[in-house]
Chains A and B, each alone.
Chain A
């Protein structure tokens, strides 16, 4: 009896395995690039970062469809779960014709690109007037390329987006000027903390509010640290010195920046619980008038300004970004994109079809459509004044219907200056544009180190922790260097070697 039941067990196990493997093979594709009646129709997967996905009767989608004579079948996936969905779609080969990829450097995406799953679109870009205007920045193309090839149509974002947001009314109360150098910056932070900038007679403010950032391999552990480090002249994550890759935290400039933070911490000018402060908490403290400054993105002047006004209608907010450091004015550059569109070969069968899709993306960033992305639909979202300048008339409808769809075009219009947008809006755009000239990029961004893919996040944590400890004074300089040694021995040296070799190879080309 006992032996028999084992046989039965094995047999049934085999049957199950056989059935399972059969069912795994026959996966077919549904989305066909049909073109009924000259109308282009395609499927797309994209994310949304609003509370609700765009509705089917969204007027902007209607307008795009009409304008481009297209039928869009978009699967909207919440941004909070997007990467899971993408990984399953790619692993099971269940792909739409256009796939937005948010995490462009994950190993599954890089493997898919290397295995030829997607069309290489780099060579086609020049044929499209608008795409070549917005999507051919060499720096950004370099950043998204894999082994020198461009597989995706990137969604362009401002390259130099970082800056400092602060309370202008506090500065006025104290009779101070906007800082131009690191020393002046320190003085402002100090005055914000100690000189009662809100004139309430209480010592209840601090100068700078900082927050933790556990955002993976590229993060420094603190949201604003990179900003101050670049003022001191530190590289953007990595530097190439004498042909050798050097991580940012092994440079002298990084140490100076850490000492600056340490000083702020010791003198209690920065929130003492910064290492455990979430970004929402950080912003909340700024809105509540407890802190006068935070290192963030320049466009925070708009969104943050609105929130600040809700809590304190008299508050004034402003931005600056150019601080003279030992190496002159510098800011660190972002990658210049947020995600990209790829075109799987399994669903986009021919070159002609690919060209049609690229044509669609080209068309939705022409002048008229850029106007739509910025303002919405006349009468619904904006009205034109007597001077012909538009103003947004229905902020709620705009936030619900226009903003979420900015996931769709390949350019968010971040550097475009529009007349009716208001002074603050134009100010941050002008700054972003001007700062591109002083933006420092990460030279190893396009290089793929296997060690970094496997261990990057984990290794980075060693440094992020050590940095926090150094700032809080529990580690001294030697202690920090010991942690750097630990980083090196646990795989960091391999990463340095990888990047050095890959960089040399790339330079040869």
Chain B
């Protein structure tokens, strides 16, 4: 648009747009800043003032608590491990399932798709899943957090549709050049689908990062718990206190609470900027029906 043609209406619109967007982003960002700043405050200040956003005294009490016990670092390591390995497994299995289903020449493609959709509509529920995990001797192993959720039917279908809209000619010419099916997948299809795969790896990674209930159900050994188990316990404890004993252990203070939230959220948050550029593109393209 030419500068001269801009009327006062356009300016007004831009101004309003800017103002609204600023307010919206402030609403989203302020709680984060609040959490981060409180995690650096002193307990006394948090207790004695009703709302403070800039603590006058900075302290590392909360973080000192976190690092005073090995359990938080250990669970963070577990979470990172499960997220990385889990996401790789997710991607590999999802692609291996999605690609054949995207090929129109696959015999029995339809019934398989129907079966996949069936699992989306009818879910076995917690108990049967637990029994299967137990019978496969996965309980108390990290695999219990990875295998049962190895493929998300929904993500798989979107990736399948993404693959379907790649031109058939590509595959044919690859075949003429002497490439086999696996070669086509790994050397042609996957490189072309990186934006979509990057997006879905983020989806999968976030799911793994937030794993909580399956860890409680399948893993009894507290050394193998991911960080969300601890985070949830600490947050709920300091919200309402779960013990009714006279000499219950004291609930963790607010600064510890906030420090743990920062500690367990920042790593996954820091992945977003790197995948951001693929994000819109990946989901949009993937959602177009092939």
Chain A interfacial positions (CB closer than 8 Å to B): 2, 5-6, 8-9, 12-13, 16, 20, 23-24, 26-27, 49-53, 75-81, 84-85, 88, 91-92, 94, 157-158, 278-280, 284-285, 287-290, 297, 299, 302-303, 306-307, 310-312, 338, 399-400, 403-404, 406, 412-414, 428-429
CB-based contact B237/A80 at 8 Å: yes
10 further A-B contacts with Cβ under 8 Å, apart from A81-B213, A278-B239, are: A9-B114, A20-B128, A20-B132, A52-B69, A77-B216, A81-B212, A279-B239, A310-B44, A404-B249, A406-B245
| Contacts A/B (CB < 8 Å), 5 sampled | A9-B110, A23-B132, A53-B222, A76-B222, A403-B249
Q: Which residues of A contact B247 (CB under 8 A)?
A: 299, 302, 403, 406, 412-413
Contacts A79-B233, A88-B126, A92-B130; A5 near B245 (Cβ below 8 A): no
In contact, B249 and A288 (Cβ under 8 angstroms): no
Interface residues of B in 226-242 (CB under 8 A from A): 229-230, 232-234, 236-242
In the docked arrangement, what's the CA distance between A60 and B256, Å? 26
Q: How far is the CA of A202 from the CA of B242 in the complex (A)?
A: 36
Q: Are B233 and A23 in contact (CB under 8 A)?
A: no
The 5 closest A-B pairs by CB, nearest first: A9-B111, A49-B243, A311-B47, A403-B249, A50-B249
User: Which residues of B sit under 8 angstroms from A49, Cβ to Cβ?
Assistant: 237, 241-243, 248-249
Closest CB in chain A relative to B245 CB, distance in Å: 5
State the CA gap A237–B222 with chains docked (Å): 39
B-chain residues with CB within 8 Å of residue A311 when the two chains form the complex: 44, 47-48
Of the four ranges (under 10, 10 to 19, 20 to 34, 35 or more), the interface on chain B belongs to 35 or more
Say yes or no for B203: interface residue by CB 8 A criterion.
Answer: no
Q: How far is the CB of A314 from chain B (nearest CB, A)?
A: 12
Chain A residues lying within 8 Å of B234, measured Cβ to Cβ, are 51
**Cβ-closest chain A residue relative to B75:** A52
In angstroms, Cα B242 to Cα A413, docked, is: 18
Whether B222 and A26, one on each chain, are in contact in the complex, defined by CB atoms closer than 8 angstroms, is no
Question: Which A residues are CB-close (under 8 A) to B49?
Answer: 288
CA A84 to CA B232, docked complex, whole Å: 14
Main secondary structure on A side of the interface with B: helix
Question: For the complex, what is the distance from the CA of A239 to the CA of B115, rounded to whole Å?
Answer: 55
Closest residue to A6 on the B side, CB-wise? B111
A-B contact count (CB 8 A): 146
CA distance A80 to B290 in the complex (A): 45
Binding site for A on B (CB under 8 A): 43-44, 47-50, 69, 71, 108, 110-111, 114-115, 118, 124, 126-128, 130-132, 134-135, 212-213, 216-217, 220, 222, 229-230, 232-234, 236-250, 252, 256
Q: Which residues of B contact A81 (CB under 8 A)?
A: 212-213, 216, 229, 232
* B242 in contact with A80 (CB, 8 Å): yes
Instruction: Write the chain B residue with the least CB distance to A339.
Output: B244
B270 → A minimal CB distance (Å): 25
Chain A's closest residue to B68 (CB) is: A396
- The answer to whether A85 and B217 touch (CB under 8 A), given A51-B252, A157-B244, A306-B250, is yes
Inter-chain contact B115/A23, CB cutoff 8 Å:
no
B213 touches A12 (CB 8 A): no
**When chains A and B are docked, how far (Å) is the Cα of A305 from the Cα of B179?**
75
Once the chains are docked, how many angstroms separate the CA of A69 from the CA of B128? 38
Question: Are B135's CB and A23's CB within 8 A?
Answer: yes
A85: chain B residues within 8 A (beta carbon): 216-217
Tell me the nearest residue of chain B to A280, going by C-beta.
Answer: B239
How far is A262 from B290 in the complex, measured between Cα atoms in Å?
64
A51 touching B111 in the complex, CB below 8 Å, given contacts A80-B242, A81-B213: no
B-side contacts of A280, CB under 8 Å: 238-241
Instruction: Please give, as numbers and ranges, the residues of chain A lying within 8 Å of B229 by CB-CB distance.
Output: 78, 81
**Contact across chains for A51 and B237 when beta carbons are under 8 A apart:** yes
**Given A27-B135, A77-B216, A310-B44, is A88 in contact with B127 using a C-beta cutoff of 8 Å?**
yes
Contact of B134 among A5, A6, A92, A312 (CB under 8 A): A92
User: CA separation between A81 and B136, bound complex, in Å?
Assistant: 24
Give the CA-CA distance A288 to B217 in the complex, in Å.
40
Known: A49-B248, A288-B49. A5 touches B111 (CB 8 A): yes
- A158 to B248 CA separation, bound complex (whole angstroms): 14
Q: How far is the CA of A290 from the CA of B245 in the complex (A)?
A: 27
